[in-house]
Each structure stands twice: as C-alpha cells, then as structure tokens.
Chain A
C-alpha cells in the first residue's frame, strides 16, 4: 500500500458564504489508518468543516484530496468514504436491514441472498444482529448511531467521517461507541475523521487532533491531544482541555 502518502490532504482551504469568510488557511493531512479529531467549541465550525470534507459544500478556494482524488471524491461513481451523521440519518420508512442493504443494491450487482448475509454480518458487528427487521423509530438513539456506522461501512470504505458520534448518548453507550470506533480503526485499518467535543472520546480514540477557534477563523493548534492538554500554552486550547472558562484563566480574578 502507499503508506507514505497521506490519506486526506487539505490544502489552504477557505470556506464561507458570499463575502463572509468563516475559516481560512485550513491545512492539514490525515495519515492512512489514523484517527483525527476535529475539536472546537460550539459554533466554531467543526460540523461545517466536515460538510466541506464530505463534499456537501464547495469551498471558496483551496483543495481537498482523498486518496489523491479531488472533488467529488468518488471512484467510478462510488463514494470513497462513509459518513455517520449526528442523528444517524437512517431512512425511517425502511428497516435496519433495508437501510444497510441500500448502498450494496445501488452500487454493486451482488445478489439478494449474499446482500442479506453481508448486511447481517455488519449488524452483528455493531451488536444489532437481532434488530434487522426493526424500523429506526423502534430503536434507541445509541442503536441508531451504531446502525448508521454499519450502513456507512457497507461499501467497505477505507475512510469514515463521524459527526459528534457520542452526542446525546449516556456515558456507557458513548464508551461502547468509542470502543467500536477503536475496533474499526485497529482491526479494519480504517482512517477516521471524527468531529467531537467530548473530552473522554478524544483521548480514547484520537491519534491526532486539530483545534478550531471561531475568532481565529481557523486552526489554532494541532497534534496529539494528550500533548496539547499537557503542554499547550495557547489559552483557548488550555481552557478547552482543562474545561475551564476563559474568564478564569485569562485574568486570574475570582
């Protein structure tokens, strides 16, 4: 494999609408098989940046290359990555099995019995084996996210994007989800980009991170999250990792 070349290359990205620039000079790489966390406070543009990475929005300038391929990041029409949306985004009128089968029946010519086997294996992998015939409305939020992951993996992508996977989950479900993400990374060798602000998740899953800040209009720090926590002298980054409010550390009063 071409281990030397980064899996994702983002080069001098500038994003925004009209004359309003939201972020500029956004540059980073993601190495194959590693997990990158995109961090930042609410409203810092994490999820917006993700929308550009997965091609839902067009940047004002700059480029995003996945596997050396520019937009629209497809190979013979097939997307090069899977995405887990914040709510799971399962189609509510289809059962879980039908949701998972959709990418296979659309993009491959695999016959129905074999599709069923592959779908069932993926459902078992995320712990939803007995729920194949359930509708998304009949399962819990954490199960929806796991089903969303299974659906994102149906085409065996080498790259997965996660938008706040543990948002709205109880701590135990969140840890289970993080463990699942770790399994995907370690055993399947999948490159993962994860948008989150959950500190425990970051330290559990991420090899690297970039920290976004709204006033700075871009990346303020990057690197191993543990090192950033312990060594960063940027006030925002320090506050982010130590969960302290800006007023307390900036002035030291009260």
Chain B
C-alpha cells in the first residue's frame, strides 16, 4: 500500500488525509509525502486551519508518528492552527502527541571536523602524553624504594603466577623462534663463509650472532608481543572496570601493587628464556651445518666451545633485564592509561605491543652501539 497525504483546501480549512501504512518500513515514502505536503501548504495563510484526519490511516508506528508530529510542529511554528481528527483511532492521536516537540533539535549542523582540526587535536595531545609517560616512569621509579620500605604494599604472591604466565608458558614459542634463528644463521654462514672455504668459522658466527644480539632480541620481541598484549589488556580491563580505582580507594598504590610484580616477573624470566633460547640456537646452527656440509658434530661442538667467551655471554645477558623492564613498563603504563570502555582496551593493547617491540629493538641497538664504542 502506497503512502500518500491527500490535501483538500476549502475556504476555511486545509484537510490533510494521510492514507496507507505509516510505519518504519515506509519511512522514506512518509518523509517524501510530508515534504510534498509542506511544499503544497507553503502559501497557506493563517486564516485557514489545518485539519489532520487520521481516519484513513491503515497503520502507524513510532517512526511514522515522528514524521507526522514533525510536520505538525513545523506548521504550528509558522503560526497555523492545527487539529487532529480521530474517527476511530485514538491510539494514533496519542502516538503523534507523544512525539510532538521532539524534533526541535533537528536541522542543526552536526559538528564536522576537517583535516586541520584533527591535525591540531593530535598535536595538542602530544605534550600531555609526553608528561604522562614521564609521570608514569617517575612513579614507577619511586615505587621501588616504596616497595622495599613497605613490602606489604606489593602483591608478592602474584609473582610466581606471573612468572609462570610470562616465562614458563612462553617457553615453547621462544624456544622454537630461537631454534629457527640458529638454523637461519647456520645456513647463511655456510652459504657465505663457504665461498671462502671458511665453513669452520660457522660455529663462531652462530655463537656471536646469537649470544650477543639475536638471542636477547628475538626472545624479547616474542615476549613483548605475547606478554605485552596480555599485561596491557589485563590492566586496561581492570582500569575500565574500576578495579584500579578500587585499589586506590583502599589505599593501595596501583603502580606498586600491580606494576612492580609484573616487571619483576619479566626481569626474572626473560634471562632464563634467553639462555634456553641460546642453547637451542646452537643446536639449530649444528643442524644446518650438518645438513649441508660434511663437518662432524664433534668438530662443530669443539668450535662452539672455543667461541663461547664470557664477554659474548655477558654482553647478551646484560641487556635482557633492561629489555624486560621496558616491556613491563610500556605494557603496564599503556594498560593503566586506558580510559573508556572495550574500545580503549583494544587500542591500548595494540599501542602497548607496538611500542614494546619498537622499544626492545631501540634498546638493543643502543647497547650494541655502546659496546662497540667501548670496544667490548
């Protein structure tokens, strides 16, 4: 059934006779009929009253009523008198009355933001986010003496659970990653050093590459992706469900209670994961070398044992606590900074993972630069 508003103008009245189904399904047709009626009534002067006769309505629901009520509102705003006639449809009259004067705010221009607006807004947020980061780092630094002075203010009991979640549960994936890196370095070494007949140096290459650089870096990247996301989303969810506020209200310092044990668990487990990864990478190098050269296992192992020095070993391990701390601070800081709802948790988690991986790479590079300047 089509939707029309029949119009009949005589000396005293303008009769409007809406006909058809005035419901959500026909909303577009109703809007068109209303606009046509308004156009037809444009020249109507105030001497004639507008009479809305609802007797031919087949059906009306809230959406239809909104549009009809808007029409009446606008006609009255022009100074016309209006009246509803109900033959046998009191429901329709009540429905339209319910939506009268509900659409006044319409037609206002909605806020539009241009490119410059958004650029400005982003730029304006930069100082606040920098001070926020510095504030959090300072707060975390202050939390360490605080934790030592009053050990009860830290959730020590969660440390074993966190070590399990961050360390033990990550072992399969960090091990596999390191094994494969050892394999890759081994294949690269054989193909490149083999050109000079120097396959015998492949064990040393694997040791130096893995112990000094790749072991800590690859392990930290995997942990940053895995635990960074886990910690950030955990703390962000706690923040948006007011658990952090609850800690505050009970007199706890959330940084001390939550961030210290998490960073501690990372600092304790990342070196262990790195050690295990180093050993597996040596195995990967051995596999690669054995697969494509005729070097014996014994020769490879002896070459490896010669290559491992305290300096190589320590150079790599010295970094790992710093990498762990960076992952922990970034993930926890992002988590605690979440505001709003589910969307904020997702956004903060993404930022945490991106920043943690990037931070790990930057710190690793700084250490390498530092060591090479010192000639270690």
Contact = CB atoms under 8 A, between A and B. Distances in A.
Nearest to A183: B98
Given A137-B341, A156-B23, A187-B94, A114 B31 contact: yes
A136 B341 contact: yes
**In this complex, which of A92, A130, A132 has the most chain B Cβ atoms within 10 angstroms of its Cβ?**
A92
B341 A110 contact: no
A111 interface: yes
Given A92-B341, A183-B98, A188-B98, A117 B106 contact: yes
B61 A92 contact: no
Interface stretch (B5-13, B62-70, B199-207, B310-318): B62-70
A108 B105 contact: no
A114 B105 contact: no
B367 to A, nearest CB: 40
Nearest to A132: B105
B24 interface: yes
Nearest to A130: B105
Contacts of A117: 31, 66-67, 70, 103, 106
Interface in A92-141: 92-93, 108-111, 114, 116-118, 120-122, 124-125, 129-130, 132-133, 135-137
A15 interface: no
A87 to B, nearest CB: 11
B102 A118 contact: no
Contacts of B340: 92-93, 135, 137
B111 interface: yes
B24 A156 contact: yes
B342 A93 contact: yes
Interface residues of B, number: 33
**In this complex, which of B23, B99, B111 has the most chain A Cβ atoms within 10 angstroms of its Cβ?**
B99
B153 to A, nearest CB: 30
Contacts of A129: 102, 105
B111 to A, nearest CB: 7
A153 interface: yes
Interface string B88-118: 0001001101110111111000110000000
B66 A121 contact: yes
A188 B67 CA distance: 15
A110 B111 CA distance: 22
Interface string A61-102: 000000000000000000000000000000111000000000
B61 A124 contact: no
B119 interface: no
A68 B31 CA distance: 32
Interface in B54-81: 61-63, 66-67, 69-70
B198 interface: no
B27 interface: yes
B62 A133 contact: no
Given A92-B344, A188-B95, 18 more contacts: A92-B340, A93-B340, A93-B342, A110-B24, A117-B31, A117-B67, A117-B70, A117-B103, A117-B106, A118-B27, A124-B101, A124-B103, A129-B102, A129-B105, A137-B340, A156-B61, A187-B97, A188-B62
Interface of A: 91-93, 108-111, 114, 116-118, 120-122, 124-125, 129-130, 132-133, 135-137, 153, 155-156, 183, 186-189
> Which 8 residue pairs spanning A and B have beta carbons closest together?
A92-B341, A93-B343, A124-B102, A121-B66, A156-B61, A121-B102, A156-B24, A187-B94
28 contacts: A91-B342, A92-B342, A93-B340, A93-B341, A93-B342, A108-B25, A110-B27, A114-B31, A116-B106, A117-B70, A118-B63, A118-B66, A120-B103, A121-B66, A121-B70, A121-B102, A122-B66, A124-B103, A124-B105, A125-B99, A129-B102, A132-B105, A133-B110, A137-B340, A137-B341, A155-B24, A186-B94, A188-B95
